[in-house]
């Protein structure tokens, strides 16, 4: 009887120990599972791109976004100005702007004083008289001169004031012309156009060229 009670006691103790050990293992397994899940969630969050970054990378360019220079000849054009002996005496830079064609002149070895300056209708500068450049650029058949009630020509420009050292730097806007090919009043039409410097000042009213005298320098403007 005593032996039976002893074995029963030992068996009960073993069952209690076994139950306690299983609970510890179960709790450890549950804790390990929670830690693994938390680590996986953190890794997924790091690898997932933010909504803002994803939108910037995947958003297609708008079809309405303007392209610089599309449909227009917006690059600046630089032409040489040559005297009646064919010698280069300066340059003129032309650039399309919202107000018209910006012209920047930088020249030297010219006679000091005031000189008429015009855009002519043909892009040819055959010396020594430069008559190949034709008349003033005048697509509207206006009268010559900024001081004329029916003027000016689209190609009429302010006079150039050459210093005593024979140099001149000047900037102006030709508002009635364009460098955009195919448009009305384009300087880049089929036969081009030219910039011409005259020997005397333009008086702003005399016909057909302001009594500015002979042509002393010329620069051809063409699409090439």
What are 46-59's pLDDT values in tens digits?
544 444 444 344 43
Residue pair 138/121 in contact (Cβ under 8 Å)? The answer is: yes
- Write the CA distances from 73 to 37, 69, 95, 176, 178, integer angstroms: 63, 7, 9, 16, 9
Please give the pLDDT value at position 222. 87
Q: What is the 3-state secondary structure (H, E, C) of 134-187?
A: CCECCCCCCCCCCCCCCCCCCCECCCEEECCCCCEEEEEEECCCECCCCCCCEC
**Which stretch of 17-21, 92-96, 143-147, 185-189 has the lowest confidence by average pLDDT?**
17-21
**Which stretch of 9-18, 38-47, 125-134, 167-176 has the lowest confidence by average pLDDT?**
38-47
Please give the pLDDT value at position 1. 56
Please give the pLDDT value at position 39. 55
- Write the CA distances from 92 to 146, 168, 180, integer angstroms: 22, 11, 18
Residue pair 201/160 in contact (Cβ under 8 Å)? The answer is: no
**pLDDT band at 145, cuts 50/70/90?**
confident
Is the pLDDT higher at 166 or at 8? 166
Q: Average pLDDT, stretch 90-104?
A: 96
Say whether pLDDT at 156 is over 80: yes
Say whether pLDDT at 100 is over 60: yes
Q: Is the pTM of this model over 0.85?
A: no
Q: Cβ neighbours of residue 78 under 8 Å, at least 6 residues apart? A: 91, 92, 93, 94
Q: Average pLDDT, stretch 5-32?
A: 56
Which helix or strand (DSSP H or E) is residue 21 part of?
Answer: helix 2-47
How far is the C-alpha of 173 from the C-alpha of 63, rounded, in Å?
Answer: 33
Q: Cβ neighbours of residue 209 under 8 Å, at least 6 residues apart? A: 116, 118, 135, 136, 144, 198, 202
Please give the pLDDT value at position 70. 34
Is the pLDDT higher at 62 or at 41? 41
Q: Cβ neighbours of residue 24 under 8 Å, at least 6 residues apart? A: none
């Amino acid at each position: 009887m005593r032996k039976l009670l002893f074995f029963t006691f030992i068996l009960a103790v073993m069952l209690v120990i076994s139950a306690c050990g299983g609970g510890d293992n179960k709790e450890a397994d549950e804790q390990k599972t929670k830690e693994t899940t938390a680590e996986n969630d953190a890794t997924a969050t790091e690898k997932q791109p933010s909504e803002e970054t994803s939108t910037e990378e995947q958003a297609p360019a708008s079809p309405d976004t303007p392209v610089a220079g599309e449909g227009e000849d917006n690059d600046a054009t630089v032409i040489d100005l040559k005297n009646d002996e064919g010698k280069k005496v300066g340059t003129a830079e032309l650039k399309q702007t919202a107000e018209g064609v910006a012209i920047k002149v930088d020249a030297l070895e010219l006679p000091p004083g005031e000189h008429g300056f015009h855009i002519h209708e043909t892009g040819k500068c055959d010396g020594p008289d430069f008559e190949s450049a034709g008349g003033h650029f005048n697509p509207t058949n206006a009268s010559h001169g900024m001081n004329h009630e029916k003027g000016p020509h689209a190609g009429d420009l302010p006079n150039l004031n050459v210093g005593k050292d024979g140099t001149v730097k000047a900037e102006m806007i030709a508002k009635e012309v364009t460098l955009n090919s195919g448009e009305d009043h384009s300087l880049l039409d089929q036969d081009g156009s030219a910039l011409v410097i005259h020997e005397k000042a333009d008086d702003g009213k005399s016909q057909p060229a302001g009594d500015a005298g002979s042509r002393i320098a010329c620069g051809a403007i063409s699409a090439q």
